[in-house]
Chains A and B, each alone.
Chain A
Amino acid sequence: EVQLVESGGGLGQPGGSLRLSCPASGFTFSNYAMHWVRQAPGKGLQYLSVISADGRTTNYADSVKDRFTISRDNSKNTLFLQMRSLRVEDTAVYYCVKSAHCSRVDCPDHFDYWGHGSLVTVSS
């Protein structure tokens, strides 16, 4: 059974940093590109970032480029999202998401598994 379990959320200060982790199990983690998606309170889903299976290639939405960094540790089957320069508008539930088939970031692919999300609240 595929499991994605986000952690590391909580209260962050404006201008501060937080790091989310997402340990994965139930599939060969190192074979798949992985993504982060968020949902702000009362808002829709917002795509954030993707990382290739080997961790060498990444891509970001403009809204988080230069502030957020996606990474992975294939030896620990874990996906990360480092968030810096936090803003109040970064308050959201953050989901770790698995590509259905692809290992590369430029491979068109839908999502087949989602974690249950980690709530990040940015407030002073």
Chain B
Amino acid sequence: DIVLTQSPGTLSLSPGERVSLSCRASQSVSGNYLAWYQHKPGQTPRLLILGASTRAPGIPDRFSGSGSGTDFTLTISRLEPEDFAVYYCQQYGRSPRTFGQGTKVEF
């Protein structure tokens, strides 16, 4: 199975700041089939990015994804209060699909 390692585990930030979250794969993610999800308590996960860099419909342009192969990054250009959540990367190019352990962005 492909192991995804996210770093850091937790980030303590303030609204307005720029943040970059890392996701590193144990082997190359085929086709750059890498997604990012945002998860808030009591809510279902929300798709942000697919294909490593394509924003999902309705996602604000302050969210961007980059990377290829084994190294991927989610960047939030300017944190809004509603962005404080846990962020997960997921590879869906090879079965079984796998998630990273998550990065918590907290105030």
Contact = CB atoms under 8 A, between A and B. Distances in A.
A115 interface: yes
Among B1, B30, B86, B97, the one with the most A-chain Cβ atoms within 10 Å of its Cβ is B97
| Interface size grouping (class) on chain B | 20 to 34
Interface string B1-22: 1000000000000000000000
Interface residues of A, number: 24
B44 A47 contact: no
Interface stretch (A21-29, A74-82, A106-114): A106-114
Interface string A97-124: 0000000011011111011110000000
A49 B97 CA distance: 9
B44 A46 contact: no
A116 B39 CA distance: 12
Interface in A25-47: 35, 37, 44-47
Contact of B47 (A35, A106, A111): A111
Contacts of B37: 45, 111
Nearest to A45: B99
Shortest beta-carbon contacts, A-B, top 7: A114-B44, A44-B102, A108-B33, A45-B99, A110-B35, A59-B95, A110-B50
Interface of A: 35, 37, 44-47, 49-50, 59-62, 95, 105-106, 108-112, 114-117
Interface of B: 1, 30-31, 33, 35, 37, 39, 44-45, 47, 50, 86, 88, 90, 92-93, 95-102
